Amino acid sequence: MDNLSILIAGRAGDGIDKSSLIIGDILASLGYRVYIYRDYPSVIRGGHTFSIIRCSGDKIAAHKDAVDILLALNQDSIDFHKSRLSDKSIIIYDSNSVKSDKGTGIPVGAIIKETGGLDLMRNSCIIGAMCRAIGVDKDAMENVFRKDMSREIDLNLKVAFRGFSEAKELIKIEKLKQKILPLVTGSEAIGRGLIKGGMKTYIAYPMTPSSGVLHFLAGAAEEFSLKVIHPENEIAVMLMAMGFSYAGERVAVGTSGGGFCLMTEGLSFSGMAELPVVVLLGQRPGPSTGLPTYTGQTELNFALSAGQGEFSRFVAAPGDAEEAYYWSAVSLNMAWKYQIPAIILCDKTLNEGTYSFDEDLAGKIDSRGPLLWDKKSEYKRYQNTKNGISPLAFPSDKGAIVKVNSYEHDEFGVTTEDKDLTVMMQDKRLRKAGYLLEELEQYETVKIYGSKDSPTALLFWGSNKGVCVEAGEKLGLRVVQPIVFSPFPLKQFKEALRGVKKIICVENNATGQLADFVKCYGINADERILKYDGRPFSLDELEQKLQVSLQG
Amino acid sequence: MKNVNLATYAKNTWCPGCGNFAILNSIKAVLGELIEEGLPAENIVIVSGIGCHAKIADYLNVNSFYSLHGRVVPVCEAIKIANPKLKVIGFAGDGDTYGEGLEHLIFAAKRGIDINIIIHNNRVYGLTTGQYTPTSPLGFKGRSTPAGTKELPINPLELMMAGKAGFIARGYSHGIEFLKKIFKEALAHEGFSLVDVLQVCVTFFNMYDYYNKRVYELKDHDPGDYKQAMEKIREWDYNIDSKIPLGVFYKKRPSNDKA
């Protein structure tokens, strides 16, 4: 057995999240590549919540509907997930609170009572039983408990050992001989990428699915000397970011679509004043409040067009933890080099998904700083240059007067309504995108996976990477992933699709925003496989849909 | 002041007699003095919103951030947090910061970050040619309220007291010396300061005669006394035809402005 899918379920507040992480870490410690999918309602207590932990010898980033192991702490956990089970599935349940005609019953409630444990430790008991059932040895389990738990470690272990001894070994999971990788959430990968890109300040108003980044960075603030600020609303978030940027500090902000609506006047300001900022845009199913705790790829159009007026911007949509790390750092560098806003598109699937993270796979990050004032010539904040990039100076730089302006302005930064100056400055700002596009030729802005010569292409973007790459490889498709959308690397994109006869576009939205986007460039997606129920594609589901499409 | 030139080449487009000139000239004089006393000119940053007041960013030859309507305050806070050695002064209008950006003002007061906010309170929208603002008196006939407003104005200083602002003062655009004195005191205050300047708009709401009859300077007033401050702040509610006190109403001990 070198590939497992484990589902653990219970009520919101039962500690399912923490348990899934412990299970993931146990599997990771055996050399496996892990992916964890979390499904929870927008409530704090009660409601059905579950996680699917999947592991494989190869890198994966998708969950399956079918599960090999079901861990049930309440009756719903069995009743709601019956359709996921096969004859071979292993069910481990709390025989004190759950009725099941199959599987291994563990008297979890009684064990808790006997050992003097807490109700929350029922998870530890069932994890103990699971470890025995899949042939994980006790020491491996204990190591992870000791690493992951911050409180009552010994009591938790006592409960887990009891669960372990109550169960029987049903299968034997092999230990793999490969590098052991740490698990990170997409949020953590983004946060670490921003830090790698030199971010000193992060500003956000809490909003799912981006709050994870705020929480991670607030926790890491001391270690990395970061300022992490949570102000009164998203308008303040964005305008504060402009203030930090003006003062010379690398800054990023995070939000979801609703908060981004409030940020757009500041985004446009960033375009006009040429103050760099990175915006983390966590999409979710909309419109309006939509499904706050579920997933969707609904804001590609919004990211590309948000803000009044016309200005250059950088937009990237990473697909997994390594790409999230890499492109977060690159976004900061691009924002500062070209003095433009940069938007990172993400969503719940990416942010709250847990991945095995391999920094070596992420790619090398260039850390050259932006163009600075030479401290000799008269300083002009908006000096008109060949590539449109003006040297930067900051307040408190002796000899420079730094004037930024939301109005059209001259090179010094003083307001103008002169027609020739207006054209000159607009051209200067827009010209930067052309140079950025040229630089992007050195980056892997469009990726290809699977059968690279196949005449049938599966086109996707963002967090669908895991499921699309795995399904596409299995079905022998050419799998194409554009990562940068603005400025759009059309040359690389066309190259990736050269010789393709049929394009199937897979997206988590109701209209096919990527398919519409590439249509503007004369590229027609023959089919659109769209899912907009707030859930990501599962591997089995996408495979089946692709097969229908391939036969048609 | 003689050695410090803070003027730019930008052509001044305020109406003749505009109260903004008094604010510009006062702050120029105060900054000139501070520079002569040793404040490095490069450490001064001014921020303005959108409206007639905001042109001050073009007219002062110092670091400036010409922001958006209502968005002076968060920018000031961020600049100060990013680089605490900077002297950050925000100029804002009444429509701008008592209307569009009020939430920011209350939170900045609550945070007590060391920034200075000066409100050009002409109680009318000038740049959009004459609509009522949060401090226009009841019955104000503006272009969006031709039959007169049916709502009472807010007293922004009372609101600032509730918001825990550490320094609250009122000035008037008639007479530069008094305004200079208040500005200087506000800039010297460590922590958040707000100066509400009754700045007359000669074109859309000429209140010179009205104010001249009613204003007086606070005397024998203890700005450290919260109760006294509140009493004086409530003497005029921006609506009734009472006397209008000018000066520093409230001044708290140095506050915690560490971010």
Q: How far does the CA of residue B225 sit from the closest CA of chain A (Å)?
A: 29
Within this chain, domains A3-166 and A446-551 share the same CATH topology: no
**Average pLDDT for residues A83-98, to the nearest whole number?**
95
- For A326-379, write each residue's pLDDT tens digit: 999 999 999 999 999 999 999 999 999 999 999 999 999 987 899 999 999 999
Q: Does B162 touch chain A (CB under 8 A)?
A: no
Give the model's pLDDT for residue A64.
95
* Domain boundaries along the sequence of chain A: 3-166, 184-362, 371-443, 446-551
Can you give the length of chain A in residues?
552
- For B135-148, write each residue's pLDDT tens digit: 999 999 999 999 99
- Cα separation, A58 vs A188, whole angstroms: 22
Q: Which of the 8 DSSP states describes residue A391?
A: P
Architecture per CATH, A446-551: 3-Layer(aba) Sandwich (3.40)
- For A415-471, write each residue's pLDDT tens digit: 999 999 999 999 999 999 999 999 999 999 999 999 999 999 999 999 999 999 999
Q: Which among A201, A205, A234, A240 is the top mutation candidate for probing chain B, defined by the most B β-carbons within 10 Å of its own β-carbon?
A: A240
Amino acid identity for residue A216 in this structure: F
- For B26-46, write each residue's pLDDT tens digit: 999 999 999 999 999 999 999
Contacts of A449 (CB under 8 A, 6+ apart): A469, A472, A473, A479, A481
- Both tokens of A405, joined, read 């302006």
Measured N-to-C along each axis, helices B102-111 and B73-82 cross at an angle, to the nearest 10 degrees, of: 30
State yes or no: pLDDT of A13 exceeds 90.
no
End-to-end CA distance of chain B: 33
Q: For all residues of chain A together, what is the average pLDDT?
A: 96
CB atoms under 10 Å from CB of A86, counted, come to 8
Count Cα neighbours of A357 within 13 Å in the Cβ-side half-sphere: 23
Percent of chain A with pLDDT over 70: 100
Contacts of A107 (CB under 8 A, 6+ apart): A94, A95, A96, A166
Closest Cβ–Cβ partner in B10, B45, B74 for A231: B74
- Cα separation, A344 vs A320, whole angstroms: 13
- Cα separation, A390 vs A384, whole angstroms: 7
Give the model's pLDDT for residue B258.
46
- For residue A206, whether the previous peptide bond is cis, meaning omega lies within 30 degrees of 0, is no
CATH topology of domain A184-362: Rossmann fold (3.40.50)
Within 8 A of A242 by CB-CB distance, chain B residues are 65, 67, 75, 78
Q: Does A421 touch chain B (CB under 8 A)?
A: no
CB atoms under 10 Å from CB of A288, counted, come to 7
Interchain pair A240, B103: CB under 8 A: no
- Both tokens of A36, joined, read 């964890």
Interchain pair B86, A231: CB under 8 A: no
Interchain pair B40, A398: CB under 8 A: yes
State yes or no: pLDDT of A317 exceeds 90.
yes
* Domain boundaries along the sequence of chain B: 20-251
Interchain pair A400, B42: CB under 8 A: yes
Architecture per CATH, B20-251: 3-Layer(aba) Sandwich (3.40)
- For B114-141, write each residue's pLDDT tens digit: 999 999 999 999 889 899 999 999 999 9
Within 8 A of A402 by CB-CB distance, chain B residues are 63-64
CB pairs under 8 A between A and B: 118
CATH number of A3-166, picked from 3.30.70.360, 3.40.30.120, 3.40.50.300, 3.40.920.10: 3.40.920.10
